[in-house]
Amino acid sequence: MEYFIKSWLYIGLALLPLFGCGPQNSGSEESQTAGRIVVKGEDVAIRMIRRESQSFMALYSKSAIAVDEGGSKAAIADLNEGRIRIAVMNRPITSAEDSIIKANGGLAKEYKIAYDGLAVIVNSKNKIQRLDFEQLSGIFSGKITSWRRLGGNIENLVPVIPGPNMGHYEYFQQLVLNGGEYAAKTYPCTTTAQIVELVKTHPSAIGLVSMGALYRNWDVWPPIKETGLKALEIAQVKESGYFYPNQKTVYEGNYPLSHPLYMYVNDVLENTYSQGMSSLAHGFITYISSAEGQKIAAQQGYVPATMPVTIKK
């Protein structure tokens, strides 16, 4: 059974006032509703951020928010080097990345803007329906190389993974592989679209994608499903039960590959804009965290992180 935001998500708070009072930097052209910034990050997440930016700029005509894809690793590196103002990541910043920013006189500040689920996808011809973490570890570490070992109807097994620049590469490696290495015969991709296409094309493939990628179009309702693939039910251990990735299981904390979606800014830089009170980056994050911004996130397949929700049975 599928659960969509229009059937169960109701954001009960009115749109909060976006911006507080405080001193403005009279010598700066930027404010929380004006200026130009660049945002960069994970490809599926950036699809949602583009909707947020379009809505924000429609409200505030003096704002310009450029949105670019590039993966978590590239985004945090560009934030450190001052090429962007906001990094969008589906994993937390690493201690090494944090240390580099601090060494350069910066301070990475984290905002949780939504929750996502990492879906495990296979070709629709594959009869496998569910896997647990032990089986996933065997597949992606190279210990399991045949679907028949798992009760499947296909001999060869080809793991398709997000490339090292993508946040889900490290997220899955730490959570499921316990920090171990991926198998040498895994096929890394640079975009989510590549993973989806490979799984759709090859019955032997298994891939890792954001659950938003299970649908090809979120601009209509209900969203249009991606054809040629299916998401598997996942269990951390068999005894804990198997769960399908959707907004309901992620919201309730049952889906074991659930995680936050983050935004990071260099707070030292942002505070140069009158202690952040004239920072467009802070203004944009405040908007995304508001009821209206969280509604947009939900309509793009994410689970709100900053507003209360109610499940309608």
What's the pLDDT tens digit per position in 51-64? 999 999 999 999 99
**One domain, residues 219 and 295:** no
Other beta carbons within 10 angstroms of residue 280's beta carbon come to 26
Task: Say if residues 251 and 259 touch (Cβ distance below 8 Å).
Answer: no
Q: What confidence score (pLDDT) does residue 26 get?
A: 35
Length of the chain: 313
Please check whether residue 309 lies inside any domain of the structure. no
Tens digit of pLDDT for each residue in 171-222? Answer: 999 999 999 999 999 999 999 999 999 999 999 999 999 999 999 988 888 8
pLDDT at 15: 33
Cα(146)–Cα(157) distance, integer angstroms: 5
Q: Are 126 and 236 members of one domain?
A: yes
pLDDT at 309: 66
Say if residue 5's pLDDT is above 70. Answer: no
Model confidence at 267, pLDDT cuts 50, 70, 90, reads: very high
β-pairing verdict for 35-41 and 86-89: parallel
CA-CA distances (angstroms) from residue 47 to 43, 240, 274, 292? 7, 33, 31, 17
Tell whether 99 and 162 lie within a shared domain: no
| pLDDT score, position 221 | 81
The pTM for the full model equals: 0.89
Q: What per-residue confidence (pLDDT) applies to 266?
A: 98
Q: Which among 297, 294, 288 is positioned nearest to 218, based on CA atoms? A: 297
Which CATH number belongs to the domain containing residue 222 in this structure?
A: 3.40.190.10
Asked whether residue 20 is assigned to any structural domain, the reply reads no
Of residues 21 and 158, the one with the higher pLDDT is 158
Q: Are residues 176 and 296 in the same domain?
A: no
The pLDDT > 70 percentage for the chain reads 89
Same domain, residue pair 86 and 128: no
pLDDT tens, residue by residue, 109-151: 999 999 999 999 999 999 999 999 999 999 999 999 999 999 9
Cα–Cα distance measured from residue 183 to residue 181, given in angstroms and rounded to the nearest whole number: 6
Query: Over 50: is that where the pLDDT of 22 sits?
Result: no
Task: Give the total number of structural domains in the chain.
Answer: 2
301 in Cβ contact with 212 (< 8 Å): yes
Give the model's pLDDT for residue 307: 87
User: Could you tell me if 81 and 197 lie in one domain?
Assistant: no
Q: Please indicate whether residue 101 or residue 153 has the higher confidence score (pLDDT).
A: 101
Per the CB < 8 A criterion, the answer to whether 265 and 285 are in contact is yes
156 and 222 fall within a common domain: yes
The whole-number pLDDT of residue 119 equals 98
Q: Looking at residues 241-260, what average pLDDT do you find? A: 97
Residues 46 and 93 in one domain: yes
Whether 206 and 110 map to the same domain: the answer is no
Total Cβ atoms within 10 A of residue 149: 14
CB 255 within 8 A of CB 267: no
Encode pLDDT of 72-93 as tens digits.
999 999 999 999 999 999 999 9
Distance CA 215, CA 201 (A): 17
What confidence score (pLDDT) does residue 220 get? 86
pLDDT computed for residue 11 by the predictor: 35
Domain of residue 125 covers: 116-258
Give percent of the chain with pLDDT exceeding 90: 85
Q: Which residues, in sequence order, are bridge partners of residue 119?
A: 209
* Same structural domain, 248 and 278: no
Residues 111 and 129 in one domain: no
